[in-house]
Amino acid sequence: RASVQIGKPAPDFKATAVVDGAFKEVKLSDYKGKYVVLFFYPLDFTFVCPTEIIAFSDHAEDFHKLGCEVLGVSVDSQFTHLAWINTPRKEGGLGPLNIPLLADVSRSLSHDYGVLKDDEGIAYRYCRARWLTPVILALWEAEAGGSFKVRSSRPA
C-alpha cells in the first residue's frame, strides 16, 4: 500500500468531481498556492459519512478565509456522487454542497494516498491536508462518528 508522509511530496491527481451540481475535471495542481484538505470516505449513501461531509461543506467558507480548499473523495462514480447530492437530506442524501466530491472509480487516488482498503476496494476515512509546495503538512485519521483524531502534525 502506498503512503504519504509529512514533509514528502503529495501525489498529484486528476479526477472527475461534482462541483456545484456539474461534472468538472479537477487536478491537485489546480490548487497551487493554497492549503488543501483532501478527505476520503468509504462510500456514498452510507450512514456516518454524510455527517462528516456536511460538516466540511457547512464550514467551507471558514476554510476559504484561511486560503484552504476542501475536497472529498470516495471510490464511487461522479454519477453516484451527483445522485447523493440531489437526494434531500431528510431522505438520506447530502443536499447541495459547498465542496467538490471527487470520483475515484479506478481507486488510484485512494491507493496513491495510502487509504485503500484492498480487501473491500473502498477507502478508509482519512484526511490529508497539504500546502502545495508540494509537501504534506498534516495527516488525520477520522474515527467513526465524525470526530477526527490527529495522527501526525507538522514538525515545529
pLDDT score, position 79: 98
**What are the chain's domains?**
14-152 (3.40.30.10)
pLDDT score, position 26: 96
Specify the pTM. 0.81
pLDDT score, position 155: 39
pLDDT score, position 48: 67
The helix (H) or strand (E) run that includes residue 150 is strand 148-152
pLDDT digits (tens, 9 = 90+) for 21-42: 999 999 998 988 888 888 888 8
Catalytic residue IDs: 49
The Cα 130–Cα 117 span in angstroms is 22
DSSP, collapsed to helix, strand or coil, labels residue 136 as: strand
**Non-local CB neighbours of 61 within 8 Å, separated by 6+ positions:** 98
pLDDT digits (tens, 9 = 90+) for 129-152: 544 445 555 555 555 555 544 343
pLDDT score, position 131: 45
pLDDT digits (tens, 9 = 90+) for 52-104: 899 889 988 988 887 888 999 999 999 999 999 999 999 999 999 999 999 99
Q: What angle do CA 144, 114, 79 make, to 5 degrees?
A: 70
pLDDT score, position 64: 86
pLDDT score, position 104: 97
Mean pLDDT of all residues belonging to the chain: 80
User: Cα separations (Å) of 104 from 20, 26, 27?
Assistant: 18, 12, 12
pLDDT score, position 150: 35
